[in-house]
Chains A and B, each alone.
Chain A
Amino acid sequence: MSEAGAAAVFADHQRVLALFTQGIVGRHLHLKPFDEGRPAAAPSRISTDGESIRLPAQVADFPDARHNLGAYRIAILHQVGYLECGTFAFDLRVAGERMALPPAAPAPPASAILRRLRPAPRSAELERFFALWPRPALLRRVFATVEALRIDTVMRRRYPGARRDLDRVLAHALGRRPPAAGLRPLASLLEALVQYSLGRPRALLVAADRTGLADALLATAAPVEADGASVYDSAAAALAICAALAALTRPPARPGAHGAGTDEAPPDEPPGLPEAAPAAAAEVADGEAAPADDALDGAEVDFRGELAPDAVFRRLASGRAGTLEHDGAAESAVPEDGAGNDAPAGAARAPVRAAALPPTPRSFLYDEWDCHAGDYKRAWCRVYEHRLRGEDAGFIDDVRRRHAQVARQVRRRFDAIKPESLARMHGEREGEELELERAIQAAIDRRAGHAPDEHLYVRRQRGRREVAAAFLVDMSASTDFPIRDRAAEAAAAAAAAAAGEADPYVWGRFGAPPDPPPPAAKRRVIDIAKESLALMGDALVALGDAHAIYGFSGSGRDNVEFHIAKDFGDPAGMRTWTALAAIEPRRSTRMGPAIRHALAKLARQPERVRVLIIVSDGYPEDQDYGPDRRDIEYGIADTARALAEAERAGVAAFCITIDPAGHDYLRRMCAEDAYLVIDEVAALPAELAKVYRALTTGNGRGPRRRGRSALRFAHPGTGADAGPASGAAPGAPHESRR
């Protein structure tokens, strides 16, 4: 490691490398750095688990920065190769048909049986394959080397442009190998195999060989270099090589010692230095049992990393079970990956439980504002777009029936808007009436011998209102809370406000203690939100405004869920209503990326006035939304930033929250006239309509200005609690209020 200036640092190239990887593989793989300074950290070698690839934090092997970057690409291509070339799709049954597998180990002692019972069904087929050999570590090592050779050969064929980088990386790795000749026979043969896989000519290796076995050994490995060689060719070659090596070693004195197949050295055991003992023929016959496995740990090839079939297996298994390691808030499993199609085939993907979600949602990356660093984290959040599907066809009728009165109110309110929208279009080529002045001008032109203008007509156009509105509904788990009657709520809010001084988490998140079960608690916060949106949607269809209804939730930055009940292009039909009915409480509230995604959708709308209305029940919060989950400032700052982005993009954003503590954070997220706290959930539909009208009946200068006067709502208790300065710049670090 030298030439710090030329080193390629992972963080600098992460995004390009991630895009590169996605392009090559066809789906998103997380690229994660490992910290080389901390040997205790989990896997500190390059590896993949099928969903992510671990890479070193920097590469400084070459004096040229481009070459170091090339080494990253090679490391990625190599790991991708394992995934693409079926290494982890290894199936023991298929292998059994293709080659003579060693018989399963003789019955091991009882304790070993017990030990086997647990891991056996829980490990990858490859691990079980290794366990077939009396010395699993040996087979693993040989297989890894042979398979790496196969992968590199495929890479060479498939990505010819990478050959130069590959050659350079191989040469560098080769330069760090010990001379094979100086090792004990078994180690020297293994070393010869590694060096062969790194490109050292076979003739050289054979010439240096003192055991006389190298030639045959390397010839055995050669078939994996053929075009079309599969993982089974590697497995067969590895078995053959192990058999040849067995000739070197006396059968172990105690046959049962290795039979269990579970006592192999863990892969990250500190690698013993290759023993530089003289290669005495006598030693071959002696004492292989204990020290030999050390010889297996001879220096590995860095760029090839480590084969971790169990990691891939576990990843698949967890995907299959749909278990959520994070929080148990959501009962439905979301597919964890964007597209698992070409994941190892061994474990077929079970149908996802949440049938509402399509199998491979599209995903989008968004920056996130880090208020502590004062900068954006690039491409930090991955938003998965899900289409909601539902079956509750009775939902909309139910809403219309139960809220007939509110619906009428809303409609009346909107009716007042409509007349503005009929427009007389002048200077049309076709229309209902002739426009006199233009007709006269045309007659004059014709007399004068000019070509007359054809735009002579006035057309009455059912003018589109130039409005596009997106509604963004918080689908966090807390919206599952039943709605209490008003008096109880007021009391609870007061209590919560008092308690909140001590614990902002409880205070902000759960407006009232959920303990006293409300008397007729059938409807939840989310139900009210849904019904309000259904009423709005109904009214907007009549009004003719383009609108979309989205929900958001998620857990963690890599899995922000963006649920589409109705997109802008969708017709307002039964499918939309049933999709809306399918909005259900899920997980957390990472608001920033959801806003950004909604903005991206709004940006594609041609309408002049664009509005984003966010309906939530609490402050933004997610498991890794900020360094500390209890620190709500990070999320607030990011959301404020996202709302500022909305303003810059010409989108009028408005937040409606039903969290009684909402004033405290909303005033830091939004302008004073861009949010509303409603103390009674049932008032949501009416308030929503009011807000909508105020936002969209602006007059050329943008809705915000008009909204300022129109949106003077009575904020109960606004003056009472003076929080931190409301004028604090969004994104500026706030001290935590604790």
Chain B
Amino acid sequence: MTSRTPPAADASSRLASEPWYLPVADEIAIFEAAYAARLPVLLKGPTGCGKTRFVEHMAWRLYRDAATPRRDIEIPLITVACHEDLTATDLVGRHLLAGDATVWTDGPLTRAVRTGAIVYLDEIVEARKDTTVVIHSLTDHRRVLPIEKTGELLDAHPDFLLVISYNPGYQSVIKDLKPSTRQRFVSLEFDYPAVAVEARIIAHEAGVDAGLAERLAQIGAKVRNLREHGFEEGVSTRLLIYAAELVRGGVAPRRACEVAITRAVSDDALVQQAIADIVDVILP
């Protein structure tokens, strides 16, 4: 998500190199322990706070960094960005036509279950309700995936792990995770990092000097104080990195903040003005 130099698509999914991640608390240890016990993990947190990057990093740690047979797996992490038209079929697989015959094709979830990859269902609540049902049998002691269309009852590969993410920020009744689903996961809660940590992240991701990164992180913290005024989540770490990248690309800092932060988080002219003022006094 926040990868700066867009690498080739398969390079990122094959995790040839380490995705950079700066731990905020004990989330790495927790995730490793959860993986050791093969407990499914739920990542909760506002948009752009590093959930996806964290999963990429953990997949790299568990499949690439460690000396295990897992290194052999070609694609250790399968990410599915859920949307409202995503059905269980899309996850499990479907019959496709090949000539006059139909051929079964695995969906991303089935592929991961077979190969023992981590599957990451991003924003699971966006998907249709029936998707949550197929993951239930995978998340308890059974660890099986029933494929209705083919009648197959697929046992999960020992290395398989299910990770889902969920953003409680814009939940509504129908877009909320049911307790029956939620209580199958170890929940890791994410929030925007503290100023000092966020500054390091910005400096690393955008390749800017520590001074500017620090200023941007402060802007982030101050703007998030205005969360209740027309925007729900405050400015994401991702947006702050965008601003830094624009500055590195030669845009004047105030202008970069205007396009990447001020205009992005609110449409209310007065709020925008207030944010611009905050940016103005904090930037040198």
Partner-B contacts on A (CB < 8 A):
15-17, 19-20, 22-27, 73, 77, 158-162, 362-365, 429-430, 446, 451-452, 454, 464, 468, 546, 568-569, 571, 604-606
Q: Tell which of A19, A27, A159, A430 touches B271, judged by Cβ atoms closer than 8 Å.
A: A19
CB distance from B125 to the nearest CB of A (A): 11
CB distance from B219 to the nearest CB of A (A): 9
Q: Contacts of A452 on B, CB cut-off 8 Å?
A: 97
| Known interface pairs A23-B278, A25-B225; A568-B173 also in contact (CB < 8 Å) | yes
Nearest to A451 among chain B residues (CB) is: B97
Given contacts A19-B229, A569-B176, 11 further A-B contacts (CB under 8 A): A15-B270, A22-B225, A22-B229, A24-B225, A25-B225, A26-B225, A73-B277, A159-B282, A161-B281, A363-B228, A546-B173
A429 to B279, CA, bound (A): 50
Q: Contacts of B215 on A, CB cut-off 8 Å?
A: 160
Q: Contacts of A24 on B, CB cut-off 8 Å?
A: 222, 225, 278, 281
Q: Tell which of A161, A362, A606 touches B280, judged by Cβ atoms closer than 8 Å.
A: A161
Determine whether the beta carbon of A446 is less than 8 Å from that of B97: yes
Q: Contacts of A162 on B, CB cut-off 8 Å?
A: 280-281
Q: Contacts of B132 on A, CB cut-off 8 Å?
A: none
Determine whether the beta carbon of B283 is less than 8 Å from that of A365: no
Q: Which of A23, A429, A452, A569 has the most CB of B within 10 A?
A: A23
Q: In the complex, how many residue pairs between chain A and chain B have their CB atoms under 8 Å apart?
A: 82
CB distance from B265 to the nearest CB of A (A): 11
- Map CB proximity to A onto B257-284 as digits: 1 under 8 Å, 0 otherwise: 0000000000000110111011111111
Q: Which of B171, B174, B283 has the most CB of A within 10 A?
A: B174
- Map CB proximity to A onto B123-139 as digits: 1 under 8 Å, 0 otherwise: 00000001000000000
Determine whether the beta carbon of A16 is less than 8 Å from that of B273: yes
A27 to B222, CA, bound (A): 10
Determine whether the beta carbon of B281 is less than 8 Å from that of A22: no
Determine whether the beta carbon of A161 is less than 8 Å from that of B284: yes
Determine whether the beta carbon of A23 is less than 8 Å from that of B174: no
Determine whether the beta carbon of A362 is less than 8 Å from that of B228: yes
Q: Tell which of A26, A73, A362, A430 touches B281, judged by Cβ atoms closer than 8 Å.
A: A73
Q: Contacts of B283 on A, CB cut-off 8 Å?
A: 160-161
Q: Contacts of B226 on A, CB cut-off 8 Å?
A: 19, 22-23
Determine whether the beta carbon of B284 is less than 8 Å from that of A160: yes
Nearest to B96 among chain A residues (CB) is: A451
Q: Tell me whether B172 is interfacial, beta carbon within 8 Å.
A: yes
Q: Contacts of A430 on B, CB cut-off 8 Å?
A: 87-89, 130
A267 to B185, CA, bound (A): 62
A571 to B173, CA, bound (A): 9
Q: Contacts of B43 on A, CB cut-off 8 Å?
A: none
12 A–B contacts, CB within 8 A, in A order? A19-B275, A23-B225, A73-B277, A161-B279, A161-B283, A162-B281, A363-B228, A365-B229, A430-B89, A452-B97, A464-B174, A571-B179
Q: Contacts of A15 on B, CB cut-off 8 Å?
A: 270
Q: Contacts of A363 on B, CB cut-off 8 Å?
A: 228
Q: Tell me whether B49 is interfacial, beta carbon within 8 Å.
A: no
A604 to B281, CA, bound (A): 34
A700 to B278, CA, bound (A): 47
Q: Tell me whether B202 is interfacial, beta carbon within 8 Å.
A: no
Q: Tell me whether B223 is interfacial, beta carbon within 8 Å.
A: yes
CB distance from B124 to the nearest CB of A (A): 16
Partner-A contacts on B (CB < 8 A):
87-89, 94, 97, 130, 171-174, 176, 179, 215, 222-223, 225-226, 228-229, 270-271, 273-275, 277-284
Determine whether the beta carbon of A19 is less than 8 Å from that of B173: no
A24 to B274, CA, bound (A): 10
Nearest to B171 among chain A residues (CB) is: A569
CB distance from B28 to the nearest CB of A (A): 29
Determine whether the beta carbon of A16 is less than 8 Å from that of B270: yes
Nearest to A339 among chain B residues (CB) is: B225
A446 to B271, CA, bound (A): 56
CB distance from A328 to the nearest CB of B (A): 30
A21 to B92, CA, bound (A): 51
Q: Contacts of B87 on A, CB cut-off 8 Å?
A: 429-430
A20 to B271, CA, bound (A): 8
Q: Contacts of A161 on B, CB cut-off 8 Å?
A: 279-284
CB distance from B250 to the nearest CB of A (A): 20
CB distance from B237 to the nearest CB of A (A): 18
Q: Contacts of B229 on A, CB cut-off 8 Å?
A: 19, 22, 365
Q: Contacts of A27 on B, CB cut-off 8 Å?
A: 225
Q: Contacts of A25 on B, CB cut-off 8 Å?
A: 225
CB distance from A160 to the nearest CB of B (A): 4
A704 to B280, CA, bound (A): 49
A27 to B228, CA, bound (A): 11
CB distance from B271 to the nearest CB of A (A): 6
Q: Contacts of A446 on B, CB cut-off 8 Å?
A: 97
Q: Contacts of B274 on A, CB cut-off 8 Å?
A: 16-17, 19-20, 23
Nearest to B179 among chain A residues (CB) is: A571
A26 to B234, CA, bound (A): 12
CB distance from B251 to the nearest CB of A (A): 16
Nearest to B266 among chain A residues (CB) is: A19
Q: Contacts of B171 on A, CB cut-off 8 Å?
A: 569
CB distance from B245 to the nearest CB of A (A): 21
Q: Contacts of A77 on B, CB cut-off 8 Å?
A: 281
A20 to B226, CA, bound (A): 9
CB distance from B247 to the nearest CB of A (A): 14
A22 to B97, CA, bound (A): 60
Q: Contacts of A468 on B, CB cut-off 8 Å?
A: 173
Q: Contacts of B278 on A, CB cut-off 8 Å?
A: 20, 23-24
Q: Contacts of A160 on B, CB cut-off 8 Å?
A: 215, 282-284
A654 to B278, CA, bound (A): 42
CB distance from B270 to the nearest CB of A (A): 5
A373 to B281, CA, bound (A): 36
A429 to B148, CA, bound (A): 13
Question: Considering the complex of A and B, which 5 residue pairs feature the smallest CB-CB distances, nearest first?
Answer: A19-B274, A160-B284, A159-B281, A162-B281, A161-B281
Q: Contacts of B284 on A, CB cut-off 8 Å?
A: 160-161
Q: Tell which of A364, A429, A546, A606 touches B89, judged by Cβ atoms closer than 8 Å.
A: A429
Q: Contacts of A364 on B, CB cut-off 8 Å?
A: 228
CB distance from B157 to the nearest CB of A (A): 26
Determine whether the beta carbon of A16 is less than 8 Å from that of B277: yes
Q: Tell which of B89, B130, B176, B223 touches A23, judged by Cβ atoms closer than 8 Å.
A: B223
Determine whether the beta carbon of A606 is less than 8 Å from that of B172: yes
A446 to B173, CA, bound (A): 41
CB distance from B168 to the nearest CB of A (A): 10
CB distance from B51 to the nearest CB of A (A): 21
A451 to B99, CA, bound (A): 10
Q: Contacts of B173 on A, CB cut-off 8 Å?
A: 468, 546, 568-569, 605-606
Q: Contacts of A569 on B, CB cut-off 8 Å?
A: 171-173, 176
Determine whether the beta carbon of A605 is less than 8 Å from that of B172: yes
Q: Contacts of B172 on A, CB cut-off 8 Å?
A: 568-569, 604-606
Q: Tell which of A19, A26, A73 touches B270, judged by Cβ atoms closer than 8 Å.
A: A19
A605 to B277, CA, bound (A): 33
A23 to B179, CA, bound (A): 35
Q: Contacts of A571 on B, CB cut-off 8 Å?
A: 179
CB distance from B96 to the nearest CB of A (A): 9
A96 to B218, CA, bound (A): 35
CB distance from A475 to the nearest CB of B (A): 22
A67 to B282, CA, bound (A): 17
A452 to B102, CA, bound (A): 12
Nearest to A365 among chain B residues (CB) is: B229
Q: Contacts of B130 on A, CB cut-off 8 Å?
A: 430
Q: Contacts of B222 on A, CB cut-off 8 Å?
A: 23-24, 26
CB distance from A192 to the nearest CB of B (A): 30
Nearest to B227 among chain A residues (CB) is: A362
Q: Contacts of A159 on B, CB cut-off 8 Å?
A: 281-282
Q: Contacts of B225 on A, CB cut-off 8 Å?
A: 22-27
A27 to B225, CA, bound (A): 7
CB distance from A569 to the nearest CB of B (A): 5
CB distance from B109 to the nearest CB of A (A): 16
CB distance from B225 to the nearest CB of A (A): 4
CB distance from A537 to the nearest CB of B (A): 15
